Amino acid sequence: MALRTAVAAFALALSFVGIADAAPRTDLRIGLVLEPPALDPTAGAAAAIDEVVYQNVFEGLTRIDETGAVQPALASSWDVSADGLSYTFHLVEGATFHDGTTFDADDVVFTYGRITAADSVNAQKALYAGIDSVTAVNANTVEIKLKGPDGLFLFNVGRGDAVIVAPESAANNANTPIGTGPFKFVNWQKGADLTLEQYAGYWGTKPALTKVTYVFINDAAARVNALLAGSIDGINNTDASTLPVFKADPRFKVVVGSTEGETLLVQNNAKAPFSDLKVRQAIAHSLDRAEIIAGASSGYGTPIGSHFPPHSKDYVDLTGTYPYDLDAARKLLAEADYPDGFSATLKLPPVPYATVGGQIVASQLAKVGIKLTQVNLDWNQWLTDVFTNKDYDLTIISHVEPFDIGIYADPNYYFGYNDPDFQAIMKQLNETTDEAARKELLIAAQKRLAEQAVNGYLFELAQTGVWSAKLEGMWQNAPVEGVVLSGIHWTE
Amino acid sequence: MTDLPAPEKRVWLRHPSLRIGAVASLVFLLVGFVSIAWVPYPIEVINVGAAMQDPSPAHWLGTDHLGRDMLSMIMKGTLTSFVVAAIAVAIGALIGVPLGLAAAAWGGPAEWFILRVNDFLFAFPALIIAILITTIFGPSAINAMIAVGIFNIPVFARVARGGALSLKTLDYVGAARLAGMGPIEIARRHILPNIASLIIVQATIQLALGILAEASLSYVGLGTQPPATSLGLMLKDAQTYALLKPSLALIPGITIILIVVALNLAGDGLRDQLDPKLRRLGGARGAA
Amino acid sequence: MIRFALTKFLGLAATLLVAAAITFAALDILPGDPARFILGINATPDAVAALREQLGLDAPALQRFFGWIGGMFVGDFGLSYTQGQPVGQLIAGRLGVTIPLTVIAMILSAGIGLPIGILAARRRGSFADAGLMVLAQLGVAIPNFWFGMLLVLLFSVTLRWLPPGGFVPWGENPFAAFASLILPSIALALPQAAILARVMRTALVDVQGSDYIRTARAKGLTLSEAVWKHGVRNAMLPVLTILGLQFAYLVAGTVIVENVFYLPGLGRLIFDAISARDLILVRSSVIILVLAVIGTMFLTDLAYAWVDPRLRSRKAE
């Protein structure tokens, strides 16, 4: 009897599948590697926050599209004053927050006031420090004045850190996010999954999906199994090492794109022997990028020669600055008074590209006599030891922030790189708004970093997603952190 | 001095499980020790071009995802797993046995206190505390040993105390007491030698559990760290390749099972050989 | 009996207090800054400082310790650093997974392990005995995360009978919730079932030689009848001890199994909280687990005293 019931239920389930096949599905289950600690993108740096809410639940005045270009969002258009110091945003009309309150200029003023306040806990507070004032001209117009020209201002306005929140709900956004986006937050089963549903009152184009569930799966092998068993429909970014299984399976498609993550062998430039240019050059000559990419990232990723993403229009290929050449490396080491090499520690954060990459780098540098002791740290220890206290020789890390070449101009940054020439280039860049002139300066900056071999420039991190073959409209590249749902739809 | 039967050849033959277990354990131990002096290929050298090869005359067990020789990895991994577990057992026995004996010898408040410490250690979910310890002091094989070792202490204390209590009532212990020996002296000269076999049995079983515990810690990333390797770490690394190259997970997985079974067989066999009187003390049962 | 229970209870309370002190101290020396972790590497030092102050991380250690202990007495476990929610609420949300998971695993391990042990003991020396004990040896020796993965590959990926992981809340669909706990509880129960089978067999074999079994046989019972009627109850003593101890192992084992099957349980909550340095969450969850384990040991002791009346009169150990 029980068996017959089970068989009947199974047959019923099969027939439901048949019906579902007739009309395209409108629900989606996405796997996420890490669960967001909270859901307020203006009060935390975790990428998982943006992966759930950016452009889905929350929107900014502008938004970043798949190519990394700035597009209108809650501001339908804007005017920039001739001196580049004043931006006037014209807001869309009819937009509402998910709790039903209307969106207007006061929300914008509130949002920016919150970001720039003295007690602000915004993770990218420094990006908005140049804002002088934010004024509501009328209900649908906002004027933002800057202290100095900022070529990246409109991009920064479009980041997850500057999404518009309402004074009525902002305090609770960590657990019940209320934004203006096409999807509203429904439920968060902590530790398991999080559900969004289409927001009926959305001001813009309605997305194809009506219900989206994010499933948090930390274990790489468990993610593979979840996809194969059909309990999730796709993963935005997963271990490259697991991709071959899906490439061979017609039920899936593998989507490989670029990110803003420059993966570096970071050298403590303030500390001997890495303060010696010849040592840094020797290390650069000893790194075989092709092998590192093959081993640490299963072959996905583009070699880089400086701190700049290859898909950028201002990119220049500098991978040939110090080509793989062990003899040259040994000669430079001898000139630097380390004919037999030296010993150093390599402190690694807990991400596969670093733990595996560290083994490969250690194996490669051993060939010229540089003996590395690998120390594996958890994220907190890495942040404390390496990033905050600068107590390290070498580390491997991917810098995923877009347009972050400016970090090299800060002598207090953990790179310990203090170069007046580079700082001058950056200062000039920040004051330049002319596109052609900016390009020239950016190229000069990339070249300076490559020649100085500040860090070992390894590869641009790839975004390796796996999705059901019947899904369309996913972003291939990741110019910003996020999984933008509005374009995703089922084909059958 | 001892009232245990000496292990004779005849007894060995009667206990095939002991023979199989002991021989297999020693073989694995030997393989591990050989790796100190020699492995077919150094495991620190990575050759991504030669990754995931099938077994061949050059690589008897093939190569892993970074092109390292699987046989060399298994040899080194066996050594690490054994060493981690053995040191954890040593920590447990060296602290736990004296504690257990002291509790049995002195009784009273000392015994109460030691039993509370025991309860206390039993009460902490061992793996979670091990995770905490390795997070505090940094993930490494050494910290894994300490973390596993701490939770071996109550096991050995319990066995030692149980054994000592039952011996305490025996005539010769009473005689020694009448002869004016102090409790420590009695524990050292009369009790310890007689519960040694119980402790060895327990050690064998904890060794097997220690190898599994190391694997669990490695699975959550807090055990052995690269470039070193252990059987648990190999198994963990192979999980994502389970469908692509099943042998990467099967080889270390089966090795772990074989070692643990061998150690348990040896432990069971040893226990079966013990004096039935001691056997009833049920020392090994604390091993769960 | 009451005196026995009282003494045991006092021991429990003392253990709990020491556990609280040690947990607090251990976590206080944990390197890492929760505020920096939350805000990431691009945050300015003053934003980090502002968050530290908001979280109350700058207060002296003693003040925080007594605040924590005092709070727990009135059911206030504090606010999670990373999630901004009451810790008690977060933990309660996870119990709906971990308690059923542990209970199902205990039932499974007893339900599989004990009959196998009894069967093997009754057929001592037979082929079935040898076969079952080989299985038990293997059961003890398989690392549980690997076994879990093999289960998923077979039952979820290949046969598609059961979900590979995740959890559907009980309130939404109790059948689906139960289904998502089947594979994890098997993975969790296997080694414990194997251990129980071995203990049960040994205990029964031991009582077979005892006086009262001989007496029972003299009265005309067959050996298996005698063992069944008189032996099993006596053999339950060591088995009860093991069951009590097993609870602690099962609870700890949930960390691994909840990771393999991405279940939203207490073990994973603690694991994630440790890596995020959500100290307040780690502390309170660890104490809850310790309470659960020593509470179970307390109950085991009472059950033990009930099964074996001699213990009641003896001075409580």
The reply to whether residue C146 touches residue B127, judged by beta carbons under 8 angstroms, is: no
Rounded to an integer, what distance in angstroms lies between the CA atom of residue C35 and that of residue C38? 5
The answer to whether residue C123 scores a pLDDT higher than 70 is yes
C-alpha closest to that of B100 among B207, B202, B171, B180: B202
| A295 contacts on B by Cβ (under 8 Å) | 46, 48, 51, 66
| A119 contacts on C by Cβ (under 8 Å) | 50, 54
pLDDT band at A18 (very low <50, low <70, confident <90, very high): very low
A122 — contact with chain C (CB < 8 Å)? yes
SS (H, E, C) C170-198: CCCCHHHHHHHHHHHHHHHHHHHHHHHHH
The reply to whether residue B242 touches residue C153, judged by beta carbons under 8 angstroms, is: yes
C-alpha closest to that of B287 among B5, B96, B114: B96
Expressed as residue numbers, the domain containing B26 is: 22-42+59-279
The answer to whether residue A147 scores a pLDDT higher than 80 is yes
Instruction: Return the pLDDT at B180.
Output: 76
pLDDT band at A3 (very low <50, low <70, confident <90, very high): very low
Strands (E) across chain B are located at none
The answer to whether residue B81 scores a pLDDT higher than 70 is yes
The reply to whether residue A363 touches residue B46, judged by beta carbons under 8 angstroms, is: yes
Kindly state whether residue B104 falls inside one of the protein's structural domains: yes
The Cα-based distances of C129 to C116, C119, C124, C300 in angstroms read: 9, 7, 6, 29
Instruction: Return the pLDDT at C52.
Output: 79
Beta strands A471-472 and A489-490, pairing class: antiparallel
Query: Across residues C234-248, what is the average pLDDT?
Result: 73
Long-range CB contacts (within 8 A, 24+) of B236-239: B236/C145, B237/B64, B237/B65, B238/B64, B238/B65, B239/A219, B239/A220, B239/A221, B239/C145, B239/C146, B239/C149
In this structure, what token pair is assigned to residue C104?
């199902």
Rounded to an integer, what distance in angstroms lies between the CA atom of residue B116 and that of residue B114? 5
Kindly state whether residue B99 falls inside one of the protein's structural domains: yes
Rounded to an integer, what distance in angstroms lies between the CA atom of residue A316 and that of residue A404? 16
Q: Determine phi and psi for A234, rounding to 5 degrees.
A: 180, 165
* Angle in degrees, 0-180, between the axes of helices B108-123 and B70-106, rounded to the nearest 10: 150
C-alpha closest to that of A221 among B113, B178, B240, B264: B240
Q: Regarding predicted confidence, which is higher, B49 or A12?
A: B49
**What is the count of structural domains for chain B?**
1
Mutate to test the interface with A, among C30, C33, C37 (most CBs of A within 10 A): C37
The 8-class DSSP code of residue B242 comes to T
Q: What sign has the CA pseudo-torsion A375, A380, A381, A383?
A: positive
Mean of the per-residue pLDDT values of chain C = 81
If you count residue pairs, one on B and one on C, with CB atoms under 8 Å apart, how many are there? 133
Instruction: Return the pLDDT at C31.
Output: 65
pLDDT band at A2 (very low <50, low <70, confident <90, very high): very low
Share of chain A above pLDDT 70, in %: 96
C-alpha closest to that of C289 among C253, C243, C239: C253
- Could you count the other beta carbons within 10 Å of the beta carbon of residue C280? 24
C163 — contact with chain A (CB < 8 Å)? yes
Instruction: Return the pLDDT at B8.
Output: 45
Range from A11-15, A175-179, C40-44 carrying the lowest mean pLDDT = A11-15
Kindly state whether residue B275 falls inside one of the protein's structural domains: yes
| B66 contacts on A by Cβ (under 8 Å) | 295, 356, 359-360
The answer to whether residue B4 scores a pLDDT higher than 70 is no
Rounded to an integer, what distance in angstroms lies between the CA atom of residue B163 and that of residue B152? 17
Per-residue pLDDT tens for A251-284? Answer: 999 999 989 899 999 999 999 899 999 999 999 9
Which residue in B has a C-alpha nearest to residue A220's C-alpha? B240
Which residue in B has a C-alpha nearest to residue A382's C-alpha? B138
Per-residue pLDDT tens for A197-230? Answer: 999 999 999 999 999 999 999 888 899 999 999 9
Q: Regarding predicted confidence, which is higher, C58 or A473?
A: A473
Mean of the per-residue pLDDT values of chain B = 81
Q: Regarding predicted confidence, which is higher, A187 or C314?
A: A187
Mutate to test the interface with B, among A291, A363, A384 (most CBs of B within 10 A): A363
Assess contact for B236 and B219: CB atoms under 8 A.
yes
Kindly state whether residue B259 falls inside one of the protein's structural domains: yes
Instruction: Return the pLDDT at B111.
Output: 85
- State how far residue A419 is from chain B, nearest Cα, in angstroms: 34
- State how far residue C28 is from chain A, nearest Cα, in angstroms: 14
The Cα-based distances of B20 to A235, A267, B6, B31, C201 in angstroms read: 48, 53, 19, 17, 21
Kindly state whether residue B181 falls inside one of the protein's structural domains: yes
Mutate to test the interface with B, among A356, A372, A379, A382 (most CBs of B within 10 A): A356
Q: List subunits contacting chain B, requiring 3 or more Cβ pairs under 8 Å.
A: A, C
In this structure, what token pair is assigned to residue C73?
């007495």
In this structure, what token pair is assigned to residue A405?
């070449």
Assess contact for C164 and C152: CB atoms under 8 A.
yes
Instruction: Return the pLDDT at B176.
Output: 76
Mean of the per-residue pLDDT values of chain A = 90
A220 — contact with chain C (CB < 8 Å)? no
Kindly state whether residue B11 falls inside one of the protein's structural domains: no
Query: Across residues A347-355, what is the average pLDDT?
Result: 90
The answer to whether residue B142 scores a pLDDT higher than 70 is yes
Share of chain B above pLDDT 90, in %: 26
Q: Regarding predicted confidence, which is higher, C173 or B281?
A: C173
A 266-295 residues with CB < 8 A to B: 291, 294-295
Long-range CB contacts (within 8 A, 24+) of C155-164: C155/C183, C156/A225, C156/A229, C156/A231, C156/C183, C157/A225, C157/A228, C157/A229, C160/A229, C160/A230, C163/A229, C163/A231, C164/A222, C164/A225, C164/A226, C164/A228, C164/A229, C164/A231, C164/C261
Range from A311-325, B215-229, C233-247 carrying the lowest mean pLDDT = C233-247
Instruction: Return the pLDDT at C42.
Output: 66
- State how far residue C138 is from chain B, nearest Cα, in angstroms: 7
Mutate to test the interface with C, among B114, B128, B216, B239 (most CBs of C within 10 A): B128
C262 — contact with chain A (CB < 8 Å)? yes
Range from A56-70, C70-84, C296-310 carrying the lowest mean pLDDT = C296-310
| A225 contacts on C by Cβ (under 8 Å) | 149, 152-153, 156-157, 164-165
Mutate to test the interface with B, among C140, C144, C241 (most CBs of B within 10 A): C140
Query: Across residues A233-256, what is the average pLDDT?
Result: 91
The answer to whether residue C25 scores a pLDDT higher than 90 is no
| B125 contacts on C by Cβ (under 8 Å) | 248, 251-252, 255, 286, 289-290, 293
Q: Is A467 left (phi over 0), alpha (psi -120 to 50) or beta?
A: beta
Instruction: Return the pLDDT at C4.
Output: 77
Instruction: Return the pLDDT at B3.
Output: 44
The answer to whether residue B178 scores a pLDDT higher than 80 is no
Residues 6 or more apart whose CB falls under 8 angstroms from that of C201 comprise C116, C117, C118, C120, C121, C124, C129, C133
Kindly state whether residue B287 falls inside one of the protein's structural domains: no
Kindly state whether residue B243 falls inside one of the protein's structural domains: yes
C56 — contact with chain A (CB < 8 Å)? no
In this structure, what token pair is assigned to residue A289?
């990028």
Query: Across residues C55-62, what is the average pLDDT?
Result: 76
| A45 contacts on C by Cβ (under 8 Å) | 38-43
The answer to whether residue B154 scores a pLDDT higher than 80 is yes
Rounded to an integer, what distance in angstroms lies between the CA atom of residue A416 and that of residue B215? 39
A370 — contact with chain B (CB < 8 Å)? no
Range from A198-207, A346-355, B267-276, C106-115 carrying the lowest mean pLDDT = B267-276
Query: Across residues B62-89, what is the average pLDDT?
Result: 92
The Cα-based distances of C179 to A28, A149, C100, C160, C183 in angstroms read: 21, 59, 12, 12, 8
The answer to whether residue A392 scores a pLDDT higher than 80 is yes
Share of chain A above pLDDT 90, in %: 70
As to burial, measured by CB atoms within 10 angstroms (0-12 exposed, 13-18 middle, 19+ buried), residue A485 is buried
Beta strands A86-91 and A75-80, pairing class: antiparallel
Instruction: Return the pLDDT at B14.
Output: 58
- What is the per-residue DSSP string for A154-219? HHHHTSGGG----TTTGGGTTTS---SSSEEEEEEETTTEEEEEE-TT-SSPPPS-SEEEEEE---
Q: Is C282 helix (H, G, I), strand (E, B) or coil?
A: helix
Q: Regarding predicted confidence, which is higher, C4 or C131?
A: C131
In this structure, what token pair is assigned to residue A165?
């929140």
Rounded to an integer, what distance in angstroms lies between the CA atom of residue A362 and that of residue B249? 25
The reply to whether residue A231 touches residue C149, judged by beta carbons under 8 angstroms, is: no
Instruction: Return the pLDDT at C316.
Output: 39
Per-residue pLDDT tens for A72-118? Answer: 999 999 999 988 899 999 999 999 999 999 999 999 999 999 999 98
The 8-class DSSP code of residue A385 comes to I
Q: Is B248 helix (H, G, I), strand (E, B) or coil?
A: helix
Instruction: Return the pLDDT at B17.
Output: 78
The answer to whether residue C229 scores a pLDDT higher than 60 is yes
Query: Across residues B158-163, what is the average pLDDT?
Result: 86
Q: Regarding predicted confidence, which is higher, C314 or C114?
A: C114
pLDDT band at A10 (very low <50, low <70, confident <90, very high): very low
The reply to whether residue C47 touches residue A122, judged by beta carbons under 8 angstroms, is: yes
Per-residue pLDDT tens for A123-132? Answer: 888 889 999 9
What one-letter code names the amino acid at B159? Answer: V
Q: Report the CATH number at residue B148.
A: 1.10.3720.10
Residues 6 or more apart whose CB falls under 8 angstroms from that of A273 comprise A279, A336, A338, A342, A344
Beta strands A394-399 and A343-348, pairing class: parallel
> Rounded to an integer, what is the distance from CA A448 to the centroid of its chain?
25
Q: Regarding predicted confidence, which is higher, B144 or B256?
A: B256
The reply to whether residue C206 touches residue B260, judged by beta carbons under 8 angstroms, is: no
Q: Identify the top-confidence range among A307-316, B136-145, C44-53, C248-257.
A: A307-316
The reply to whether residue A224 touches residue B243, judged by beta carbons under 8 angstroms, is: yes
The reply to whether residue B127 touches residue C256, judged by beta carbons under 8 angstroms, is: yes
Query: Across residues B168-186, what is the average pLDDT?
Result: 74
Assess contact for C252 and B121: CB atoms under 8 A.
no
pLDDT band at C73 (very low <50, low <70, confident <90, very high): confident
- The domains of chain A, with CATH numbers, are 24-236+474-492 (3.40.190.10), 261-462 (3.10.105.10)
pLDDT band at A398 (very low <50, low <70, confident <90, very high): very high
The Cα-based distances of B165 to A459, B94, B186, B280, C202 in angstroms read: 66, 19, 12, 13, 22
C-alpha closest to that of A468 among A257, A232, A240: A232
Question: For the whole model, what pTM was predicted?
Answer: 0.84
